[in-house]
Structure 1
């Protein structure tokens, strides 16, 4: 039995029996729509989710690598739309929130994992993804602790499910509490796991919110390095190399060039426009990778850990930005 027939006969009742050619046409139609200015990041994610449930992703084995590269490209491109001075101001304001939230999330995640009796590596990956930057943190820390494919898949599935919810819910909550652009940007960067969903939610809220959220989130992503070192100690494994997120350095270079090089500043609006289109496509691909089987594979206890951690950090961060951020 080939892969396509196996996929179409999965007992989830949601995937239509369509030919490979039809699935590819539907998939590429979705990509085309997401490349237009008429589809927002949230709608792109929803469109990807619909395709995942009803026809399936025809190139699922390439999806993770494609989203990873496209996200990095988009983030670097967004740097061309930002100013160094305002970014430094946002970074300084977010550093206290970042340090406290990362330490508290990792500690709560450890305690919850033990209480729920979740496999240790899976629990640590979920905690790290929640504390730092979602899929990027999981991808960086997984080889350090020698996590297997199932443990990685469970953690990624948990993070991506919650990211999808956050992209729709956070802007509504922000408007309900009348958060300023700065407050919402800080809250997004602290409480939403993945950079793609942080940027998507912040872009929907406003230009300054996008600048604050992206800057704080990328500064937060640098914590992958010390957390990875800590992980080698906790799991007694010193043989694996730690993946450094080099694209963050390119983001800084782009931001500096936009601020100080006049010729670059002229082109920046066009580069930023392409980067935002890339981000929208990234979210479409993430949604298209979340089939019902992926969601069910997460399991109740790991998902419970992820949800409780997310609710705790989101609520605490919202309280903090309401009372201590302008």
Structure 2
């Protein structure tokens, strides 16, 4: 007896799979196209995640989407997003984080926590919605678009708010990528200090790599490790945010925000990669799969984003993103100078 015969698919399951396929095929095509363009263009700022959401927005606003696509779009935006965040854990180990030492870890933790807390409060003062403030705060403090996506599973922001937050972290992260190498000499930063500053404050992993390695291999290595240490902190940040929102009754009209159990999967992958030396080929495949899954989710979000509603958000969220960028850059630099200068 075959495995398929032992576990037969019911007609309901077949209908569910069939309903998902059209929309999934569209988001997959967008994500694969973004990966292809990223490889051909070779520009770190134009990540597959950014290209996916931009392509989705263009298609979603130019072409009316038939209803048959909606189940697959929703599947990409929810189920595949969680899987992508889980696999993100295979990109780092606890041993890598330990390489930073006590002062390096302190710089990363203090910068991340302070940036997130202060950005949320300034967002409230500016009149930016709480979900959008949280997305901009997480994207700036932790790891760009990936953190925005993970945080949104708790914050439950509108698609337009997610798109706006990703635009903010992309714009200001790119500015850091371009400006930081020019500041290394005037600021008299050694390679380790510069790497720590880059890794603790620049938004996306690719942006950190591009900025840090321009100064030297030691700076690039230190910057990459510091950035991965921030990614580890994504898990406790999202869990803390979920418990806070459940405790204060946020989103009561739509039910309490769910506990982000997918974060446990993320931590399990970090633990596995820390305890077992996994084959390099497997890790490379997992990294590609993570990028593809997150690109699928962003393509889906782009397809459901309407530019008219995006424009309605105004300039206040952009001002918040700019403030968060200046805050994280300045605080990170101050801590690096205070804790690493002989």
Superposition TM-score tier, normalisation by shorter sequence: 0.5 to 0.7
**TM-score of the aligned structures, taking structure 2 as reference length:** 0.65
Which whole-Å CA distance do the structure 1 matches of 2:247 and 2:130 have between them?
Answer: 13
**Aligned residue for 1:170?**
176
Which whole-Å CA distance do the structure 2 matches of 1:98 and 1:220 have between them?
Answer: 10
- Summarize deviations over 1:213-257 as a string: whole Å, max 9, x none: 122233144122333333334446496342242133124303422
Q: Secondary structure at the match of 1:242?
A: coil
Q: CA deviation at 1:278?
A: 3.0
Which whole-Å CA distance do the structure 1 matches of 2:37 and 2:80 have between them?
Answer: 14
Indicate how the Cα distance of structure 1 residues 48 and 83 shifts in structure 2: closer, same or farther if over 3 A, else same.
Answer: same
Q: Is the contact between residue 81 and residue 269 of structure 1 (CA under 8 Å) also seen in structure 2? A: no
Which whole-Å CA distance do the structure 2 matches of 1:40 and 1:272 have between them?
Answer: 23
Q: CA deviation at 1:129?
A: 1.4
**Aligned residue for 2:210?**
204
**Aligned residue for 2:52?**
48
Q: CA deviation at 1:84?
A: 4.8
Q: Is the contact between residue 105 and residue 131 of structure 1 (CA under 8 Å) also seen in structure 2? A: yes
Query: Following superposition of structure 1 onto structure 2, how do residues 223-234 of structure 1 map, counting pairs within 5 Å?
Result: 223-234=237-248
**Aligned residue for 2:259?**
242
RMSD of aligned C-alpha atoms?
3.8
Which whole-Å CA distance do the structure 2 matches of 1:229 and 1:315 have between them?
Answer: 29
**TM-score of the aligned structures, taking structure 1 as reference length:** 0.68
Which whole-Å CA distance do the structure 1 matches of 2:54 and 2:118 have between them?
Answer: 35
Indicate how the Cα distance of structure 1 residues 296 and 154 shifts in structure 2: closer, same or farther if over 3 A, else same.
Answer: same
Gaps of 5+ in 2: 1-22, 139-146, 212-219
Q: Secondary structure at the match of 1:223?
A: helix
Which segment is superposed worse, 310-319 or 41-50? Answer: 41-50
Which whole-Å CA distance do the structure 2 matches of 1:109 and 1:85 have between them?
Answer: 33
Which whole-Å CA distance do the structure 2 matches of 1:37 and 1:70 have between them?
Answer: 27
Indicate whether 1:159 and 2:162 are aligned: no
**Aligned residue for 2:317?**
306
Q: Secondary structure at the match of 1:243?
A: coil
**Structure 1 runs (4+) greater than 4 angstroms displaced:** 22-26, 34-41, 53-59, 87-90, 236-239
- Summarize deviations over 1:140-181 as a string: whole Å, max 9, x none: 133xxxxxxxx5223212212223334543321222323722
Which whole-Å CA distance do the structure 1 matches of 2:28 and 2:320 have between them?
Answer: 39
Q: Is the contact between residue 23 and residue 55 of structure 1 (CA under 8 Å) also seen in structure 2? A: no
Indicate how the Cα distance of structure 1 residues 32 and 176 shifts in structure 2: closer, same or farther if over 3 A, else same.
Answer: closer
Q: CA deviation at 1:30?
A: 1.6
Indicate whether 1:181 and 2:187 are aligned: no
Indicate whether 1:214 and 2:228 are aligned: yes
Q: Is the contact between residue 53 and residue 163 of structure 2 (CA under 8 Å) also seen in structure 1? A: no
Which segment is superposed worse, 64-73 or 206-215? Answer: 64-73
Q: Is the contact between residue 160 and residue 286 of structure 1 (CA under 8 Å) also seen in structure 2? A: no
Which segment is superposed worse, 57-66 or 100-109? Answer: 57-66
Match of 2:332 among 295, 305, 321: 321
Q: CA deviation at 1:126?
A: 0.9
Which segment is superposed worse, 310-319 or 66-75? Answer: 66-75
| Number of equivalenced pairs | 275
Q: CA deviation at 1:183?
A: 1.0
Gaps of 5+ in 1: 1-19, 143-150, 193-197, 258-263
Indicate how the Cα distance of structure 1 residues 40 and 66 shifts in structure 2: closer, same or farther if over 3 A, else same.
Answer: farther
- Summarize deviations over 1:29-49 as a string: whole Å, max 9, x none: 526737979856635346435
Indicate how the Cα distance of structure 1 residues 25 and 140 shifts in structure 2: closer, same or farther if over 3 A, else same.
Answer: closer
